[in-house]
Amino acid sequence: MIKRCNDFGAGGVSVAIGELADGLDINLDAVPKKYDGLDGTELAISESQERMAVVVAKDDVDAFLGLANSENLSATPVAVVTDKNRLVMTWRGKKIVDISRDFLNSNGASKHITVKAAPAVLKKQSVSGGFGENFRSLVGDLNICSKRGLAERFDSTIGAGTVLMPFGGKYQLTPAQAMVQKISVEKKHTDDCSLMAFGYNPFIAEESPYHGAYLAVVESVSKLIASGADFRDVYLTFQEYFEHPGKDGSRWGKPFSALLGAYRAQMELGIGAIGGKDSMSGTFENLDVPPTLVSFAVTTSKTNRIVSPEFKKAGHSVMWLKPEYNSDGLPDAASLIELFEKVAGLIKSGKAVSCYTPGMGGVAEAVFKMCIGNGLGFDFNDKLTVDEIFGLSYGSFILEMTDVQPDAIGTVTDRREITRGSEVLSLDALLNTYEDKLESVFHCNIKNHGDAPETVSYHTDCRVAPAVKTAKPRVLIPVFPGTNCEYDSAKAVADAGAQPEIFVINNLTADGISRSTERFAKLLEESQIVFIPGGFSGGDEPDGSGKFITAFFRNPEIKEGVSELLDRRDGLMCGICNGFQALIKLGLVPYGKIIDVDADCPTLTYNTIGRHQSRIVRTRIASDKSPWLALKKVGDIVNVPISHGEGRFLASNGLIRSLIANGQIATQYVDADGYATNDIHYNPNDSAFAIEGITSPDGRVFGKMGHSERVGSGLYKNVTGDYDLRMFEAAVRYFR
């Protein structure tokens, strides 16, 4: 139905709509506005994010508007494609733009400049100082140090397709060198995955834009190979950002040199750039950005081919494989391609179990980051000089091998230290420097409150059962503004043998809300389970999330339907993340019914760390009372992705004690030894008693923060563990 599509961004209507066809008649009065008072020019050129412009056939307009409304999306006809080859905009009945497309396509008057490119020379790098001095300095460098406190602010597991977490190993500290994500399919499953990696060194680019661009391509592609991909069907896209050149030929020479370097890399490696974005405005007063050409490399692979960079086992030998380098300091392309094939073969055969391609910090950075994920050490032998350990070596690879290698550069050890001869560096001391550098800006190692919580265990042989059995229970999944986990949830439900029903709540108009309420109440009568998925309801409103969800469920018709489901039909309910927040605000957990909550009721509030947390946590089954947990045993440990900013469970000690006594504490955050903890590395939000999930008194309503619906084969390969809570399977069995 959609013929063309463009996103709104810089340039607003003029660009987003103006690029869709040669002839356009745009009615600016029809463009939806957030604010009144904008004149025609402002409407035409103002940036407007989170909107899309689409072209549909005239006969499809009504059908498209209907589909948009069914998804709770506002859609408005604002322009018509014409055959006049002109861009026309009208505002308040007057033409304020009427420009020939031929003129627009000319990009204005021709401009000329004589480019003066500096010689492409990269000085040979030298390293001063000793092994320990350089190592301590390296891990505290802003370009090398931990960015975990920043990365964890973004949802890394949405879509239930994450093959490599941003940080791997049992301590989740080794950064992955590539994004690896399963290809998204709505209802079925696949082992196909996409990979993306970037390359760029501003110091090299500043010295020689030519070398910087060439090595950016090499680095981005090498990261794909190090992650398990083949050197096949690799494509590039470039992000370019340079100082404002004005009429200075030497300033124009920098992007010119960078493009030549990138072009040479593409031609020699036989791969092409299929997209990109550039800006020549990187100047503020007397400050200029360094010449910037960031290369992004993309390809596809299979999940069973993917390898992560953290060291796996003490005793393994570590090899350093390098291409040949030309006199200009760049890798020889034929040698590099041959090395790509060799590394891919070692990974595919299972002989190499981890791999890292050195970047700005050389071999030293690679070895350190490979160590920290699983807390393993490394012993350098005498084969490498300090210059080799800390120097640049783009296009080379550090590989952890399962067999003894005579040419190894060292050995993985079980000691938390990095050694070279008589020099011994504490891994913990290096890690503290590495993580503390940005701790004051991007927190990740704060002290949580309270004493060590009790590790709860509640056993029961008596669970509730439904009055009426159902072979294929229907699961109603409401979608509110901001919900983003409905497809993951529906797939998990269907995989367990239930029949999911995704229902989008329409709140565009009062009539839409009324019709949604009526329809939802009807679907509720036909369903056995209600599942409220996660997301950011209303964009995570001030003073807490989930308020629109709770307002909807407090509608008398819906409230009565929920009561009938739970009290008379023995149905089940569950809410995850944002859904858990809604259940808490409704009183459905821990009370089992919708009530008017007050200050004495439990709540979910902002994480003590003061930011969003996205990572893998370990949870322990604390009670087997709930039908949702019937296929797990008390004490079982289950890994689960979390992604929330308001997950801190708070309640009075008296209430929590009563929940413990009644078996309503379902799951707790636990440490590496399986004990409930307040440690920020395991309890991500500082929940009281390390509570991750609770239930209603009879266990049929279950709320939890962790995204247990984000399960599947080939996921989270660099953070090993059991991820299947089997809660959906247990819910289906409850009705059979």
Residues labelled as active-site residues: 577, 707, 709
Residues 6+ apart with CB under 8 A from 269: 217, 221, 333, 336, 337
Look up residue 33 and give its two tokens.
């506005």
Tell me how far apart the alpha carbons of residues 144 and 628 are, in angstroms, rounded to a whole number.
44
Tell me which DSSP letter residue 117 carries: P
Say how many Å lie between the first and final Cα of the chain, rounded: 42
Phi and psi angles of residue 598, each rounded to the nearest 5 degrees, phi first? -140, -170
Tell me which DSSP letter residue 453 carries: P
Look up residue 651 and give its two tokens.
């309640």
Do 573 and 559 contact (CB within 8 A), yes or no?
no
Phi and psi angles of residue 579, each rounded to the nearest 5 degrees, phi first? -65, -35
Tell me which DSSP letter residue 568 carries: I
Of 431, 447, 259, 231, the closest CA to residue 340 belongs to 231
Helix (H, G, I), strand (E, B) or coil at 290: coil
HEC string for 405-430: CCCCCEEEECCCEEEECCEEEEHHHH
Tell me how far apart the alpha carbons of residues 323 and 331 are, in angstroms, rounded to a whole number.
6
Of 723, 727, 674, 722, the closest CA to residue 699 belongs to 727
Count the alpha carbons within 13 Å of 433 in the hemisphere toward its beta carbon. 18
Helix (H, G, I), strand (E, B) or coil at 142: coil
Do 320 and 262 contact (CB within 8 A), yes or no?
no
Do 580 and 693 contact (CB within 8 A), yes or no?
yes
Question: 291 preceded by cis ω (within 30°)?
Answer: no
Torsion-angle region of 622 (φ positive above 0: left; ψ -120 to 50: alpha; else: beta): alpha
Positive or negative torsion for Cα 238, 242, 247, 252: negative
DSSP letter for each residue of 51-98: -EEEEE-GGGHHHHHHHHHHTT------EEE-SS-EEEEEETTEEEEE
Burial 21-40 (b: 16+ CB within 10 A, else e): bbebbbbbeebeeeeeeeeb
Beta-bridge mates of residue 188: none
Do 425 and 136 contact (CB within 8 A), yes or no?
yes
